[in-house]
């Protein structure tokens, strides 16, 4: 796959994304939790698509020149976000998913006015195919408007939580963490912890290498986390300096730790979270996300099949 030239987002992108997203979406709840003293859960599960990625999709659709078709690759939630944008703005959208994508997400994407294409058995194969299709490619993580859109979570936290804060969020391609970094730099009292799957640490490896590198991707039921980064992705460039400065930490969790977090969220809060959505809680419960100031954990999505959820919360 040839590297694309993607512009790094800045403060102006975050401002534009905030105008677009705040006009379309109500702020998601921030609720107290017994996870740690003073801890809070940011419930992106309350989004109309069930996941935070609708933010980036709205920001990206709003940034497109009128009449420009959009193409997206997705493990599921980005596709749902782009479907929501297609329905809301009339954007011409094609979504490519792998043949192993979560069926509940595929079915819901297909209910939106989009062209749904299934290609390949992995997200990487779906992404490579999507880039060959006509239209503006809207990456779920390597796109300035998408990254800024995810950062609007922080703009909501400005009015919901006094600092200093430690914000814990899942990491797949790094779009959410990079977007939160845009916001954290302007706020000044925020530490970020990004949580990857232990079997797919593409962002960590790329930050360590100073460039995008390919990693071996193992099997995980948390389908929103695994996959290699697009060559030339800007997310390691955005995250790397913050890691060196000590304002961002990258860690990882196992599937068993994610399952324990899903059980905890269900039993303690009555919340349904998908695997990626519970990754932040998994890191906290495993002692991998120490906090400075008040702890905020982003519960990023709820889109999981009933059998997968039941299996996850059942103690073996």
Q: Are residues 207 and 283 in the same domain?
A: yes
Residue 181, domain member (yes or no): yes
From 33, 53, 197, 200, the catalytic residue: 53
Residue 1, domain member (yes or no): no
Residue 167, domain member (yes or no): yes
Q: State yes or no: pLDDT of 276 exceeds 70.
A: yes
Picking from 115, 144, 173, the residue at the C-terminal end of a domain is 144
Residue 140, domain member (yes or no): yes
Contacts of 160 (CB under 8 A, 6+ apart): 27, 30
Q: Are residues 166 and 301 in the same domain?
A: yes
CA 93 vs CA 74, 177, 262: distances in Å: 12, 25, 32
Question: Which residue range forms the structural domain that includes residue 43?
Answer: 11-51+145-313
CATH number at residue 265: 3.40.50.1100
Q: Are residues 180 and 287 in the same domain?
A: yes
Q: State yes or no: pLDDT of 2 exceeds 80.
A: no
Helix (H), strand (E) at residue 178: helix 175-187
Q: Are residues 301 and 178 in the same domain?
A: yes
Work out the pLDDT band at 22, boundaries 50, 70, 90: very high
In the residue annotation, 233 being an active-site residue is answered as: no
SS3 category, 180 = helix
Picking from 128, 144, 160, the residue at the C-terminal end of a domain is 144
Q: In this predicted model, which residue has the larger pLDDT, 159 or 105?
A: 159
Q: Are residues 217 and 136 in the same domain?
A: no
Looking at residue 291, its pLDDT comes to 75
Mean of pLDDT values over 173-193: 97
Q: State yes or no: pLDDT of 289 exceeds 80.
A: yes
Residue 4, domain member (yes or no): no
Picking from 112, 144, 176, the residue at the C-terminal end of a domain is 144
Q: Are residues 19 and 126 in the same domain?
A: no
Q: Are residues 73 and 18 in the same domain?
A: no
Average pLDDT, the chain: 95
Share of the chain above pLDDT 70, in %: 99
Q: Are residues 150 and 129 in the same domain?
A: no
Q: Are residues 180 and 47 in the same domain?
A: yes
Q: Are residues 153 and 129 in the same domain?
A: no
Q: Are residues 96 and 204 in the same domain?
A: no
Cβ atoms of residues 149 and 22 within 8 Å: no
Residue 5, domain member (yes or no): no
Residue 191, domain member (yes or no): yes
Work out the pLDDT band at 103, boundaries 50, 70, 90: confident
Looking at residue 316, its pLDDT comes to 60
Mean of pLDDT values over 112-122: 95
Looking at residue 6, its pLDDT comes to 94
In the residue annotation, 300 being an active-site residue is answered as: yes
pLDDT digits (tens, 9 = 90+) for 191-235: 999 999 999 999 999 999 999 999 999 999 998 898 889 999 999
Q: In this predicted model, which residue has the larger pLDDT, 138 or 3?
A: 138
Mean of pLDDT values over 165-179: 97
Q: Are residues 97 and 221 in the same domain?
A: no
pTM: 0.95
pLDDT digits (tens, 9 = 90+) for 62-71: 999 999 999 9
pLDDT digits (tens, 9 = 90+) for 249-268: 999 999 999 999 999 999 99
Q: State yes or no: pLDDT of 98 exceeds 80.
A: yes
Helix (H), strand (E) at residue 313: helix 306-313
SS3 category, 100 = coil
Share of the chain above pLDDT 90, in %: 89
Domain count of the fold of the chain: 2
- Report the b/e string of 277-295 with b at 16+ CB within 10 A: bbbbbbbbbbebbebebbb
Looking at residue 118, its pLDDT comes to 95
Looking at residue 3, its pLDDT comes to 78
């Amino acid at each position: 796959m040839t590297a694309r030239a993607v512009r790094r987002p800045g403060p102006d992108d975050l401002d534009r994304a905030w105008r677009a997203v705040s006009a379309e979406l109500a702020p998601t709840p921030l609720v107290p939790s017994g996870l740690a003293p003073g801890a809070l859960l940011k419930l992106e599960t309350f989004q109309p698509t069930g996941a935070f990625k609708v933010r980036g999709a709205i920001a990206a659709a709003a940034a497109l020149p009128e009449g420009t078709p959009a193409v997206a690759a997705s493990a599921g939630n980005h596709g749902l976000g782009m479907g929501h944008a297609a329905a809301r703005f009339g954007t011409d959208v094609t979504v490519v998913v792998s043949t192993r994508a979560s069926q509940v997400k595929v079915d819901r994407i297909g209910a939106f006015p989009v062209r749904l294409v299934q290609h390949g058995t992995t997200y990487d194969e779906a992404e490579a195919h999507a880039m060959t299709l006509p239209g503006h490619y809207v990456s779920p993580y390597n796109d300035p408007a998408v990254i800024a859109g995810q950062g609007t979570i922080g703009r909501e936290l400005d009015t919901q939580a006094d600092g200093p804060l430690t914000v814990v969020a899942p990491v797949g391609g790094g779009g959410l963490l990079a977007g939160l970094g845009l916001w954290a730099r302007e706020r000044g009292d925020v530490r970020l912890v990004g949580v990857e799957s232990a079997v797919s640490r593409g962002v960590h490896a790329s930050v360590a290498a100073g460039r995008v590198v390919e990693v071996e991707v193992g099997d995980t039921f948390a389908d929103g986390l695994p996959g290699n980064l697009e060559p030339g992705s800007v997310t390691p460039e955005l995250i790397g300096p913050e890691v060196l400065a000590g304002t961002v930490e990258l860690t990882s969790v196992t599937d068993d730790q994610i399952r324990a977090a899903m059980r905890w969220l269900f039993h303690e809060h009555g919340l349904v979270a998908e695997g990626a959505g519970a990754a932040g809680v998994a890191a906290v419960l495993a002692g991998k996300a120490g906090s400075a100031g008040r702890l905020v954990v982003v519960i990023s999505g709820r889109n999981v099949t009933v059998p997968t959820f039941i299996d996850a919360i059942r103690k073996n």
